[in-house]
């Protein structure tokens, strides 16, 4: 993140420290007797999230070996060695919040890198590094973020997180949902193979179940490394509760045998609030907007809590059905029309670009149906994504076009595959797209070749991409096999996404390679292909 005026030179200096501090953080995490002792207390790492110009949210969890309250100390410093400690405090936690700690720090400088740690029972946690957001008027000219979605424990290792943590050039990570999965062991794995067993072994239903699943995910070393390296901005999708969730139920919930859905949602949301570095509103809503100087605003959506039940046929056009809910849609439209940021980014858990599937063959509709809910006959669009809620999408596109709002980019997850799209509707046609959409692959969750049982990048996968593009001219690129992550670079002139895919999600030491880059320039919603980064 760089600044274009002398008034924000501190951002430049701290960015240098951000990169230089990577070695210090690594050293703090190196094995030692003290580190081994701390690992028994801070087994789940630490994290930061939702940075503001003057603050950031800090998180950890302590393993105390007792059932009483625990006073956990925290420190924020200007350096990785903690020779200049700026703030300290104590947070009291206990079994009522599963011994998690969330401290909302304020009073920090804008656009500045800090280091933090926690202390308990004479032991210090590993050291985390974070960065506050620039002030709203700071003329920031560059920002880079990792973009991820859909991390299934049983389907592989989180090598994607390791590669992002090792880069050293990121300002933040955006997670678009499905941070974890609710299934029982063996119900959703790596194409029929359990790479590593999940806990609890059964499907998560109760508060204790969701807490246990969150705790297991937080023991992953690559997940811990990425959380410790940069702040995260996250939202949830369906699997944080249950598959294909809507406001009154879910495909993967049976009230007769699994209890009331409202009780399950309450349990899942409580565990999420305890275990995730995210600010939730007093009423529990997660949709929110974060700003990075004059360069960008990021609106994070919740497309599960308020949506109507998934439908098919002509019901997908019903204006009485919604994917956002009325209040969130008004909030989103007001934010997009009133923003003076150079870029308006939208953290969008499910794909908004339409997917016409009527001409696609049955062999492709099968795995697509597994991923996005397309029925086998191919006559109805995918009802779990924005295609199932055409009125909401049409309203959004109409506002963008009617008000000539440019420089809107949707960052999307959920579909487990990689896409570069231009946002259109059948009514608007493809000549004047309303926005760009960049869809990142899953970290580990199954995609098309996994469902087909074929090798990644094989003839069927290449044909699948060709067929999808041929039926959907607004889809400029699609890759149906790769697992990995995206890296988004935002400058005053363009917004560019680069996709990186893993060699093998089932290998802890998997390599990753660049596969594609696409960008959209200021003032245009048409995207273009980019060469590999130099």
Chain segment 169-182, per-residue pLDDT in tens? 999 999 999 999 99
Per-residue pLDDT at 363: 67
Q: Is the pLDDT of residue 373 over 90?
A: no
Q: Is the pLDDT of residue 155 over 50?
A: yes
pLDDT digits (tens, 9 = 90+) for 222-268: 999 999 999 999 999 999 999 999 999 999 999 999 999 999 999 99
| C-alpha dihedral (217, 218, 221, 225), degrees to nearest 10 | 130
d(CA 275, CA 97): 9
Per-residue pLDDT at 429: 80
DSSP state, residue 481: S
Is the CB of residue 332 less than 8 Å from the CB of residue 397? Answer: no
pLDDT digits (tens, 9 = 90+) for 352-363: 998 887 667 666
- What is the average pLDDT across 483-498? 98
pLDDT digits (tens, 9 = 90+) for 470-481: 889 999 999 999
Q: Which of 21-25, 155-159, 210-214, 503-507 has the weakest average pLDDT?
A: 21-25
Closest Cα to residue 297, out of 411, 185, 415?
411
Q: Is the pLDDT of residue 37 over 90?
A: no
Per-residue pLDDT at 534: 86
| Kind and range of the H or E run holding 233 | strand 232-234
- What is the average pLDDT across 511-522? 98
Per-residue pLDDT at 142: 97
- What is the average pLDDT across 80-101? 98
How far is residue 111 from each of residues 28, 289, 493, 504, measured CA to CA in Å?
24, 17, 21, 37
Per-residue pLDDT at 38: 62
Q: Which of 143-147, 311-315, 357-361, 401-405 has the weakest average pLDDT?
A: 357-361
pLDDT digits (tens, 9 = 90+) for 107-127: 999 999 999 999 999 999 999
Tokens of 252: 């993967």
Q: Is the pLDDT of residue 86 over 50?
A: yes
**Count of Cβ atoms closer than 10 Å to residue 88 Cβ:** 11
Q: What percent of the chain has pLDDT over 70?
A: 89
Per-residue pLDDT at 362: 67
Closest Cα to residue 425, out of 481, 373, 387, 462?
387
- What is the average pLDDT across 273-278? 98
Q: Is the pLDDT of residue 365 over 70?
A: no
Per-residue pLDDT at 31: 38
Phi first, then psi: give them for residue 528, nearest 5 degrees.
-140, 150
Per-residue pLDDT at 482: 95
**Count of Cβ atoms closer than 10 Å to residue 76 Cβ:** 23
Q: What percent of the chain has pLDDT over 90?
A: 79
**How large is the C-alpha radius of gyration of the chain?**
22
Per-residue pLDDT at 367: 76
**Count of Cβ atoms closer than 10 Å to residue 36 Cβ:** 10
Domains assigned to the chain: 1-135 (2.60.40.380), 139-530 (3.60.21.70)
Q: Is the pLDDT of residue 12 over 60?
A: no
pTM value? 0.92
């Amino acid at each position: 993140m760089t600044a274009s005026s002398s008034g924000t030179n501190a951002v430049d200096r701290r960015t240098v420290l951000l990169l230089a501090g990577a070695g210090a953080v690594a050293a703090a995490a190196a094995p030692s007797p003290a580190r081994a002792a701390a690992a028994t207390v801070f087994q789940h790492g630490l994290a930061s999230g939702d940075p503001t110009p003057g603050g950031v949210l800090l998180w950890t969890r302590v393993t105390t070996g007792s059932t009483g309250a625990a006073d956990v100390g925290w420190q924020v410093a200007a350096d990785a060695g903690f020779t200049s400690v700026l703030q300290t405090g104590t947070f009291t936690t206990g079994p009522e919040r599963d011994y998690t700690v969330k401290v909302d720090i304020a009073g920090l400088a804008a656009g500045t890198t800090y280091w933090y740690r926690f202390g308990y029972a004479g032991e210090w946690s590993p050291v985390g590094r974070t960065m506050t957001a620039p002030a709203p008027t700071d003329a920031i000219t560059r920002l880079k973020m990792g973009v991820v979605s859909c991390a299934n424990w049983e389907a592989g290792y989180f090598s994607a997180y390791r590669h992002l943590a090792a880069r050293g050039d990121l300002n933040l990570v955006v997670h678009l949902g499905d941070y974890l999965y609710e299934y029982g062991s063996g119900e959703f794995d790596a194409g029929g193979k359990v790479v590593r067993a999940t806990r609890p072994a059964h499907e998560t239903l109760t508060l204790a179940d969701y807490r246990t699943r969150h705790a297991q995910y937080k023991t992953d070393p690559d997940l811990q490394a990425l959380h410790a390296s940069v702040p995260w901005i996250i939202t949830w999708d369906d699997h944080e509760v249950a598959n294909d969730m809507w406001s009154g139920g879910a495909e993967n919930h049976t009230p007769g045998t699994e209890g009331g859905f409202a009780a399950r949602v309450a349990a899942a949301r409580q565990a999420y609030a305890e275990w995730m570095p995210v600010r939730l509103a007093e009423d529990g809503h997660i949709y929110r907007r974060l700003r990075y100087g004059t360069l960008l605003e990021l609106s994070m959506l919740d497309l599960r809590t308020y949506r109507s039940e998934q439908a098919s046929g002509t019901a997908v056009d019903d204006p009485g059905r919604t994917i956002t809910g009325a209040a969130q849609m008004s909030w989103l439209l007001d934010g997009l029309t009133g923003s003076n940021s150079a870029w308006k980014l939208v953290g969008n858990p499910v794909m908004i670009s339409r997917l016409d599937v009527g001409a696609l063959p049955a062999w492709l509709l099968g795995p697509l149906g597994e991923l996005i809910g397309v029925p086998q006959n191919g006559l109805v669009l995918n009802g779990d994504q924005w295609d199932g809620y055409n009125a909401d999408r049409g309203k959004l596109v109409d506002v963008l076009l009617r008000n000539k709002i440019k420089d809107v980019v949707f960052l999307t997850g959920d579909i487990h595959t990689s896409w570069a799209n231009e946002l259109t509707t059948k009514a608007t046609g493809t000549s004047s797209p309303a926005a760009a959409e960049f869809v990142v692959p899953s970290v580990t969750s199954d995609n098309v070749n996994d469902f087909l049982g074929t090798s990644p990048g094989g003839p069927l996968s290449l044909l699948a991409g060709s067929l999808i593009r041929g039926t959907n001219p607004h889809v400029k690129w699609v890759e149906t096999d790769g697992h990995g992550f995206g890296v988004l670079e935002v400058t005053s002139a363009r917004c560019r996404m680069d996709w990186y895919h893993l060699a093998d999600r089932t290998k802890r030491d998997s390599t990753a390679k660049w596969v594609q880059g696409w960008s959209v320039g200021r003032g245009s919603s048409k995207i273009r292909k980019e060469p590999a980064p130099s």
